[in-house]
């Protein structure tokens, strides 16, 4: 192939992808314009996690759901209005996404210190970082200067977020569309080392897998039996409830590489977890991540920074929201 064609193809491939603009974000962005900002967020997040460790998981997930839909622009924080159902309302976020009050509290204190300076999208990026430190001693600097979007559309969620039923190829494609590599996809999935899942996100694996197998053969049998005691059969009339179980059986409040070890034991909760070990393209990355927790932690930190720069608004784009739940007047 001629070099020119090759360049053309790579140009087309790149322009179809999300923009990772870490270059336009700056570490220490608020140092001179609102020096208390990062401390306020950290303090608020630590206080919330001390009360309920699940909120740390919620904040990390919230940052991911923000960045994958319209970029990291705090679109996930906007409430629905009478005319417009927002991202929040989508079943991937409602009712499972948690931690909104933590962001509200941090924003209120930050606004009292320096009104209209610090964006909700930066507060969320800081809060996710502070959660990773609190629960996993994983530390990284968050380049900041994001601005907040004015648009949030429920229907855009399913087009952009990966599904818990996805296989490795689908997950790879989804992350690639956001400019993240296969390795980064596997690394970031390690966030499922903390937090919980509702039974509805994986119950087909237990009760109605396919025509020949009622349960997913890639799941450890004892694990299936245990999960059945926690999750009622979806067809049960009395089961209007949707209980939650830890995403990782071992240490659900500890952000570490134990997640990858559970995959090797066929105890991944979601299809999108277990597929990382079942699929040859990702199995070796899973194996590598089981070896050294600190190496995985450093890769996780770097991947969070990259995820945090997807399609960001900067400069004069967007706005600095006053209230993270509504666009400015």
Ligand X SMILES: *[C@@H]1O[C@H](CO)[C@@H](O)[C@H](O)[C@H]1NC(C)=O
Q: Which of 21, 86, 98, 119 binds ligand HEM (CB under 6 A)?
A: 98
Please give the Cα distance from 177 to 185 (Å, whole number).
11
Q: Tell me if 195 contacts ligand HEM by CB under 6 A.
A: yes
Q: Tell me if 49 contacts ligand HEM by CB under 6 A.
A: no
Residue placing its CB nearer to ligand HEM in the complex, 145 or 308 = 308
- With CB under 6 A as the contact rule, which of the stretches 33-41, 58-66, 146-154, 227-235 interacts with ligand HEM? 58-66
Structural contact between residues 194 and 60, judged by C-beta atoms closer than 8 angstroms: yes
Residue placing its CB nearer to ligand HEM in the complex, 158 or 317 = 158
Residue whose entry in the numeric block shows the structure tokens 């009050």: 101
Residue 234 CB, nearest distance to ligand X (Å)? 19
In the set 65, 198, 213, 292, the catalytic residue is: 65
Element (H, E) at 197: strand 196-198
- How many residues touch ligand X (CB under 6 A)? 5
Q: Tell me if 96 contacts ligand HEM by CB under 6 A.
A: yes
Q: Identify the burial level of 81 via C-beta atoms within 10 angstroms of its C-beta, where 0-12 means exposed, 13-18 middle and 19 or more buried.
A: exposed
Q: Tell me if 217 contacts ligand X by CB under 6 A.
A: yes
Contacts of 58 (CB under 8 A, 6+ apart): 97, 98, 99, 102, 195
Tokens of 49: 């996690």
Half-sphere exposure of 220 (CA within 13 A, CB side): 15
Residue 168 CA, distance from chain mean position: 17
Identify the CA nearest to 148 among candidates 92, 71, 90: 71
Residue 138 CA, distance from chain mean position: 16
90 annotated active-site: no
Q: Tell me if 212 contacts ligand X by CB under 6 A.
A: yes
- Closest residue to ligand X in the complex (CB): 210
- With CB under 6 A as the contact rule, which of the stretches 16-24, 65-73, 204-212, 320-328 interacts with ligand X? 204-212
Which parts of this chain interact with ligand HEM (CB under 6 A)?
54, 57-58, 60-61, 64, 96, 98, 162-164, 166, 171, 188-189, 191-192, 194-198, 201, 247, 270, 272
Which parts of this chain interact with ligand X (CB under 6 A)?
210-213, 217
Tell me which residues are annotated as active site. Answer: 65
């Amino acid at each position: 192939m001629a070099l020119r064609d090759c360049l053309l193809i790579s140009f087309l491939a790149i322009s179809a992808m999300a923009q990772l603009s870490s270059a336009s974000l700056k570490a220490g962005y608020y140092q001179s314009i609102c020096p208390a900002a990062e401390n306020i967020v950290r303090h608020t997040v630590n206080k919330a996690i001390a009360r309920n460790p699940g909120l740390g998981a919620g904040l990390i997930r919230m940052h991911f759901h923000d960045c994958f839909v319209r970029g990291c622009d705090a679109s996930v924080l906007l409430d629905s209005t009478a005319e417009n159902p927002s991202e929040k309302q989508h079943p991937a976020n409602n009712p499972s996404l948690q931690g909104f009050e933590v962001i509200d509290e941090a924003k209120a204190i930050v606004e009292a210190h320096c009104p209209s300076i610090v964006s909700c999208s930066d507060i969320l990026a800081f809060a996710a970082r502070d959660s990773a430190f609190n629960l996993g001693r994983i530390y990284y600097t968050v380049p900041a200067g994001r601005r907040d979007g004015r648009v949030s559309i429920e229907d855009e969620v399913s087009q952009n977020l990966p599904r818990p039923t996805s296989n490795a190829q689908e997950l790879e494609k989804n992350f690639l569309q956001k400019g993240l590599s296969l390795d980064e996809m596997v690394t970031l999935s390690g966030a499922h080392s903390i937090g919980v899942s509702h039974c509805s996100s994986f119950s087909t694996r237990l009760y109605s897998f396919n025509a020949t197998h009622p349960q997913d053969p890639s799941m450890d049998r004892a694990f299936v039996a245990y999960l059945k005691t926690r999750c009622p059969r979806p067809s049960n009339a009395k089961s209007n409830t949707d209980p939650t179980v830890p995403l990782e059986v071992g240490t659900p409040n500890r952000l570490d590489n134990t997640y990858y070890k559970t995959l090797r034991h066929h105890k991944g909760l979601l299809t999108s977890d277990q597929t990382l070990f079942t699929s040859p393209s990702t199995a070796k990355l899973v194996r590598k991540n089981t070896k050294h927790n600190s190496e995985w932690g450093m890769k996780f930190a770097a991947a969070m920074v990259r995820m945090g720069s997807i399609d960001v608004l900067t400069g004069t784009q967007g706005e600095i929201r006053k209230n993270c739940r509504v666009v400015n007047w």
